Amino acid sequence: MRRILSIALTALLLPACATPPNEVPLFARAQLATDFDTYVIRRVGVLPVRLPAVGGRAMDPRSAFMQNWFASQVELSTPYEVIAISEAEMRDVPDLDPRRSGRHDVEAVLGLARRFELDGLILVDVADQHPYPPQRIALHAELVACETGATIWSSDVHLDAREPRVRAGLEAYVVRTDGTEFGAERTDVALLSPRSFAEFALWQLAQML
């Protein structure tokens, strides 16, 4: 009788103690403006991703891929309607990089808001990237309220493939997205692929919104 009770108790405790399968750890960190909840954000535009190697905006296929991937992940993880604003559509818009002027160009923000009927703009910077094994990538993102031109959310993530926790997190992510048991093998491929590693980093940022 005692043995039966012991087995039953163990069975009840296991779900509470065990780690959920395929849980992906979050390495990104985010900050919200104190008045974030006062803004109504329904439709956001994701701008072309800024890459460090080219300085500012550039017609680069990597930027377009990262932008579209990030936009898709934001749409999946938030209630926002998301559009990716192409480089061609940004051609006549002043650079919105606040690192140069210390602030966002309010007129540029308002112009994009009117043109695309936006409540917010999301800017993503690749602050650092080493696309060869062992890979590393650092990203910074900001959500700018079109109403005021103020940054109301920001997030940063830094992934270094030399860290065991990052490799373990990447494997959990691969298993979850791939839906098979071959996570370890596919993780080895992802560790060699700048595209896959960047996808993981962008997914991290999207989970912070």
pLDDT at 22 > cutoff 70: no
- Per-residue pLDDT, 116: 97
Beta bridge partners of 159: 137
In this prediction, what percent of the chain has a pLDDT beyond 90?
66
Task: Name the amino acid, one letter, at 46.
Answer: V
- Say whether pLDDT at 86 is over 60: yes
CA distances to 186, 196, 198 from 178, rounded to whole Å, are 9, 12, 16
Rg (CA), the chain: 20
Q: Strand 43-46's sheet: what is its strand order?
A: 29-32, 151-160, 136-145, 120-130, 43-46, 81-84
**Domains of the chain: residue spans and CATH:** 23-207 (3.30.160)
Residue 68 in this model has a pLDDT that exceeds 60:
yes
Of 50, 109, 48, 46, residue with least CA distance to 72: 46
In contact, 95 and 123? CB cutoff 8 Å: no
Give the H/E segment covering residue 10: helix 2-17
4 — pLDDT class (breaks 50, 70, 90): very low
pTM of this structure: 0.84
| Angle CA 54–55–58, to nearest 5 | 60
Distance of CA 169 to the CA centre of its chain: 15
What integer is the mean pLDDT of 186-201? 92
Q: Which of 4-13, 40-49, 51-60, 115-124 has the lowest mean pLDDT?
A: 4-13
120 forms beta bridges with 44, 145
How many Cβ atoms sit within 10 Å of the Cβ of residue 50?
Answer: 24
Give 138 or 5, the one with higher predicted confidence. 138
